[in-house]
Amino acid sequence: MAARIEGKVSVRLLAEEAVERALRAGATDAEAVGFESEEFAAHVRLGQVEQLTESGSHALGLRVFFAAEGGSRTASTSTSDLSPDGIARLVSGAVELAKVTGVDPFAGLPEREAFGSNDVAAQALYFNDVDAIPAAERIEIARRCEAAALGYDARIQNSKGGDFDASSSHRVMVNSRGFAGEYRRSYCGFSASPIAQDATGAMQGDYWYSSARTAQLLGDPEEIGKIAAQRALRRLGARRVPTQKCPVVFAPEIAKSLMGNLLSAADGDSIYRNASMFAGKLGEQVAGENITMIDDGTMVFDHVLADGTTLKVGGFGTSPFDGDGLRTQRTVVIERGVLKELMLNTYTGRKLGMASTHKASRGLAGAPGIGGGNYFLEPGEATPEQIIGDVKNGLYVLQTMGFGVNLVTGDYSQGASGLWIENGELAYPVEEITIAGNLKDMFRNVSGIGNDLEFRGSGAVPTVRIEGMTIAGS
Amino acid sequence: MAAAPHLIHPETLDHKRYFFDKLGLTERLLERCLGEALSAGGEFADLYFEAVTSTSLGMDEGIVKTASQGISVGCGVRVLSGERTGFAYTDDLSAERLLKAARTAALIANGPQVERVQGFVEAKTASLYPVAGMGGDAEIAEKLRLIERANKAARDFDPRIVQVRAGINDELRRILIAASDGTFASDTQPLARFNVFVIAKDEHNTARGTSGGGGRVGLDFFAGDKSPEHFAREAARTAILQLGAIAAPAGEMEVVLGPGWPGVLLHEAVGHGLEADFNRKKTSAFAGLIGQKVASSKVTVVDNGKMPGRRGSLNVDDEGNATQETVLIENGILRGYLSDKLSSRLMGMPNTGSGRRESYQAIPMPRMTNTYMLNGEDEPGDIIKSVKRGLYAVNFGGGQVDITNGKFVFSASEAYLIEDGIVTAPVKGATLVGNGPEALKYVSMVGNDLALDEGIGTCGKAGQSVPVGVGMPTVKLDRMTVGGTGR
């Protein structure tokens, strides 16, 4: 078989073969995705290597469509068995399953002219130096990072370890309407997770990390280890505070998930189901005028290296095309508090009578869901210190826990820990409390947005302050 | 390598045949791979073969929109050397690839070979769940009938139900474990879960309701009282109830937890903290507390992997050991940890058969199975009557714990106020927060109505998800912090 050259499989050729076979089996349309990945992970604890993982995997996913009166029937299959038998089962399984599904007027691939790919983004996602770092060096980075945390303060004698991970992946998508695309991505990162203990024996753990698409942009292991140590130490001696209403300042890592709810609530799938507080609110004010939230799957950053050269590196949420095969794009979802655009894939766009905003996310199995690229909240002018400095009595949140976010009603209630703010100063650590409010009010009560926007992952949100939240404690 | 004696039972329930007949494995190949895995001086090696077939069918807006099937096959090779673990996996089960994975994992050790592969001894395993369903088209047709019934029942419940999604997900997982210490085990593990999601809408409010259940069961499970109608009405009832819910209170108060799924409290407050790996490394707030009082004397908590048909149950764990009932807390005293091969060896403690892994791509670690509190003597009605002002929480979304400082949360999805001993208004969802080694000391009443959850739990640890069960009787805690916005 052509798809196997000297025993090595080509997922691109296998994906094309799966589409062809599905069409021969009577499908009106078909789409296949292929994944390949290489993974390396080293876990070091108290200076000793504790776990080493090195492996690779591959898999194929297929969707088939059968046109019928008033729409299409559709089904999907996936497999990690890429043998000829495996591919045959992938195709026959999808074709058989499609027979039992109902006719959906909105199901189907995008129209031929809709497909596209962003080649600039595709070129900036893979750096082969990630695969080239010798195993011994990877272990050494994890060891150095953990050692820096352990050596930072006498109150740090234990650790959950230091980690180094590297991976590279290859993704292919082909369909029967002429789209074919593929790209490679690389990732590497390391972290330390120290545990601090005070004289009473009480323990607090925390971590810090550095991650990048190329080893050239990884941080300094000693510096990262030191920050991890400081983060664990500042939690020691945490106490509870009384139940009260007060302003809450969200550190960037926590603000990211809080403000990310703006995009989740704009998810087309939830909107058409009435399962979002933003259903029917397109064009309306859903947040304060200081809120502008953007989803952008095209971001490529210029990094100036030590030798003066500029390296173009795609964001962690950057890809050339979305899960439907449409060119990724920049979308201003919330502009000055107004819900301007929804997060739509082809299917949810059709359901709502709108065009896709190219936010399809496609896993191995099933129909595409909704998933953005990179996202960020437009930064403000104030420094984080100024945002904290304006608070007489309030909470600086460093961690939230739980599942108490309801995007249907906006009700928000999460476990929290952080630092208490007294007269504009960080006074002492607090824990075992909750913060609660309703997102609809919280997004209107943002009284401060920091200038500290930094992309450490696919999303970035600066320090944010929200007035009038309820804290439950002692 | 010495030739191993043939102690693999040909006559026992043939979970292993799939791997030998269909995937072409041989005993000789398993021995070669283990020999290769030990070649650099490792003390122990194991092979975990896994073949999973999963199916998902879903009805949405009255149309069967979702039909998908997935197949995953692979092998993970692990080598232990002291506290070190070398690991590699492959999704290609050819001899060449398996031996390559074994060589990669072997490199965790660094020296000449010291251990040999023992002859395999196949243990007799329990039979806690059915092996296979009817299969094929008949099974799909039956599943479609079930989700159609749920769709109808939810819509018929109340005209304010405007959206219904009903689905059934199931998988059949076949595993085979062979280890250098002679362990040889295989199992076939079914898992089914029925899900209903609804949206209710009136002129003022919109609310969601979810329900679901299942276990290691065949489709006949849904023919009894856990029918599609049961799950559909439950989802619809919760959504309608939430339309009229008021703000949950904020602050410390008396809390009564209903029977069943609220047992997620135990999973978060004590269960994770008692997993042996965290205690071996002294990173758990429970480290060193064995023999000490960590709960009220009314509290006895067990982890039991041997309950027939339960979502968290296993005939053998993912290291080939039989699962068991392990007492974690007895009359308030901490009795034991949940351990796997590595932690029991390093800690000199019994292995509780708690080694679990998400898939062949992941390294096993100590995990819970079905974790629950035993019955007490109080009548549930008396427990409610004893509360002057508090919260009665009967259903939860999920929970989370910080192992190191012991702080945990769990988020109520259905709760009511208790005023002067009477259950009154439904309240909106709220997160409850507490401290693991302290929270259960405030248990003042334990009901006689122990129930396990419906079979919906999935536990995450270090990025690995595994199915679990939880349960408890009605329980009163004299003090717990409720994270609402009201008074």
pLDDT per residue as tens digits for the range B229-257: 999 999 999 999 999 999 999 999 999 99
> Which positions ≥6 away from B422 have C-beta within 8 Å?
B384
Cα-flanking dihedrals φ and ψ of residue A2, to 5°?
-60, -30
Cα(B144)–Cα(B67) distance, rounded to whole angstroms?
10
* Burial class of residue B215 (count of CB atoms within 10 Å of its CB; 0-12, 13-18, 19+): buried
- Which residue type does A347 have? Y
Chain B CA closest to residue A92? B69
* Domain B17-243, CATH among 3.20.20.80, 3.40.1080.10, 3.40.50.10490, 3.30.2290.10: 3.30.2290.10
Q: Domains (ranges, CATH) in chain A?
A: 4-233 (3.30.2290.10), 244-472 (no CATH)
Cα(B176)–Cα(A242) distance, rounded to whole angstroms?
54
Assess A88–B contact: CB distance below 8 Å, yes or no.
no
Chain A CA closest to residue B106? A52
DSSP letter, residue B332: T
pTM: 0.93
Share of chain B above pLDDT 70, in %: 97
Instruction: Provide the residue ranges of all domains of chain B, joining segments of one domain with +.
Output: 17-243, 250-483
User: What are the b/e assignments for B195-205, b being 16+ CB within 10 Å?
Assistant: bbbbbbbeeee
Cα(B377)–Cα(B482) distance, rounded to whole angstroms?
26
Q: B84-90 and A48-68: which strand pairing?
A: parallel
Structure tokens at A7: 């025993």
Cα(B146)–Cα(B158) distance, rounded to whole angstroms?
20
* DSSP notation for A376-403: EEPP-SB-HHHHHHT-SEEEEEEEEESS
| Ramachandran area for residue A91 (φ above 0: left; ψ -120 to 50: alpha; else beta) | alpha
Which of B407, B464, B479 to substitute to test the interface with A, most A CBs within 10 Å? B407
pLDDT truncated to tens, each residue of chain A (474 aa)?
A: 345 544 557 999 999 999 999 999 999 999 999 999 999 999 999 999 999 999 989 999 999 999 999 999 999 999 999 999 999 999 999 999 999 999 999 999 999 999 999 988 889 999 999 988 898 999 999 999 999 999 999 999 999 999 999 999 999 999 999 999 999 999 999 999 999 999 999 999 999 999 999 999 999 999 999 999 999 999 999 999 999 999 999 999 999 999 999 999 999 999 999 999 999 999 999 999 999 999 999 999 999 988 999 999 999 999 999 999 999 999 999 999 999 999 999 999 999 999 999 999 999 988 999 999 999 999 999 999 999 999 999 999 999 999 999 999 999 999 999 999 999 999 999 999 999 999 999 999 999 999 999 999 999 999 999 999 999 999
Decide: B226 and B211 in contact? Cβ < 8 Å.
Answer: no
> Which positions ≥6 away from A135 have C-beta within 8 Å?
A40, A42, A52, A54
Of the candidates B64, B73, B83, the beta carbon closest to that of A50 is on B83
- Segments of A363-474 assigned E as strands: 369-370, 374-377, 393-401, 411-422, 425-438, 446-449, 459-460, 464-472
Are the beta carbons of A100 and B252 separated by less than 8 Å? no
Cα(A25)–Cα(A22) distance, rounded to whole angstroms?
5
Assess A445–B contact: CB distance below 8 Å, yes or no.
no
Assess A433–B contact: CB distance below 8 Å, yes or no.
yes
Are the beta carbons of B252 and A474 separated by less than 8 Å? yes
Q: Which residues of B touch A202 (CB under 8 A)?
A: 405
Q: Distance (Å) from the C-alpha of residue A108 to the closest C-alpha of chain B?
A: 12
Q: Which residues of A touch B89 (CB under 8 A)?
A: 55, 57
- CA-CA-CA-CA torsion sign (B349, B325, B261, B198): positive
Cα(A365)–Cα(A75) distance, rounded to whole angstroms?
9
Assess A274–B contact: CB distance below 8 Å, yes or no.
yes
Distances in Å between the Cα of A247 and the Cα atoms of A292, A381, A472, B278 are 21, 19, 13, 36
Residue B373: closest CA among B435, B412, B328: B328
Which of B61, B68, B400, B480 to substitute to test the interface with A, most A CBs within 10 Å? B68
Residue A281: closest CA among A265, A260, A304: A265
Mean pLDDT of chain B: 93
How many H-runs (helices) and E-runs (strands) does chain B carry?
Answer: 10, 23
Assess A330–B contact: CB distance below 8 Å, yes or no.
no
- Which residue type does A366 have? G
- Which residue type does A330 have? R
- 3-state SS assignment for residue A329: coil
User: What are the b/e assignments for A199-231, b being 16+ CB within 10 Å?
Assistant: eeebbbbbbbbbbbbbbebbbebeebbbbbbbb
Can you give the pLDDT at residue B133?
59
**Is pLDDT above 50 for B6?**
no
A-proximal residues of B, 341-370, CB under 8 Å: 361, 363
> Which positions ≥6 away from A467 have C-beta within 8 Å?
A247, A445, A447
Are the beta carbons of A413 and B430 separated by less than 8 Å? yes
Assess A86–B contact: CB distance below 8 Å, yes or no.
yes
| pLDDT, tens digit (0-9, with 9 covering 90-100), for A106-123 | 999 999 999 999 988 889
Structure tokens at A297: 């799957």
Structure tokens at A306: 């030590």
- Mean pLDDT for B184-204 is 96
Q: Which residues of A touch B400 (CB under 8 A)?
A: 401-403, 415
Residue B47: closest CA among B58, B55, B35: B35
Tell how far CA A169 is from the center of its chain: 16
Assess A45–B contact: CB distance below 8 Å, yes or no.
yes
Q: Which residues of B touch A414 (CB under 8 A)?
A: 409, 431, 483
What length is written for chain A? 474
The count of CB pairs under 8 A between chains A and B is 253
Q: What's the start-to-end Cα distance of chain B, in Å?
A: 72
Are the beta carbons of B56 and A366 separated by less than 8 Å? yes
Decide: A431 and A414 in contact? Cβ < 8 Å.
Answer: no
A-proximal residues of B, 156-195, CB under 8 Å: 162-163
Q: Which residues of B touch A257 (CB under 8 A)?
A: none
Cα(B299)–Cα(B331) distance, rounded to whole angstroms?
5
The secondary structure element, H or E, covering residue B469 is strand B464-472
- Mean pLDDT for B162-185 is 96
Of the candidates A45, A51, A274, the beta carbon closest to that of B206 is on A274
Are the beta carbons of B67 and A365 separated by less than 8 Å? no
Assess B242–A contact: CB distance below 8 Å, yes or no.
yes
> Which positions ≥6 away from A302 have C-beta within 8 Å?
A310, A311, A312
Cα(B208)–Cα(B195) distance, rounded to whole angstroms?
13
DSSP letter, residue A97: H
Cα-flanking dihedrals φ and ψ of residue A129, to 5°?
-65, -20
Assess B110–A contact: CB distance below 8 Å, yes or no.
no
The secondary structure element, H or E, covering residue A73 is strand A71-79
Decide: A404 and A414 in contact? Cβ < 8 Å.
Answer: yes
Tell how far CA B316 is from the center of its chain: 14
A-proximal residues of B, 377-396, CB under 8 Å: none
| Residue B135: band (very low, low, confident or very high) from pLDDT cuts 50, 70, 90 | low
**Is pLDDT above 50 for B466?**
yes
**Is pLDDT above 70 for B115?**
yes
- How many CB atoms neighbour CB B404 within 10 A? 26
Assess B261–A contact: CB distance below 8 Å, yes or no.
no
| pLDDT, tens digit (0-9, with 9 covering 90-100), for B380-420 | 999 999 999 999 999 998 889 998 999 999 999 999 999 99
Chain B CA closest to residue A159? B283
| Residue B1: band (very low, low, confident or very high) from pLDDT cuts 50, 70, 90 | very low
Can you give the pLDDT at residue B132?
67
Decide: B90 and B100 in contact? Cβ < 8 Å.
Answer: yes
> Which positions ≥6 away from B145 have C-beta within 8 Å?
none
- Mean pLDDT for B287-294 is 91
Assess A49–B contact: CB distance below 8 Å, yes or no.
yes
- 3-state SS assignment for residue B153: helix
Can you give the pLDDT at residue B136?
74
* Burial class of residue A135 (count of CB atoms within 10 Å of its CB; 0-12, 13-18, 19+): middle
| pLDDT, tens digit (0-9, with 9 covering 90-100), for B7-29 | 444 444 578 888 998 889 999 99
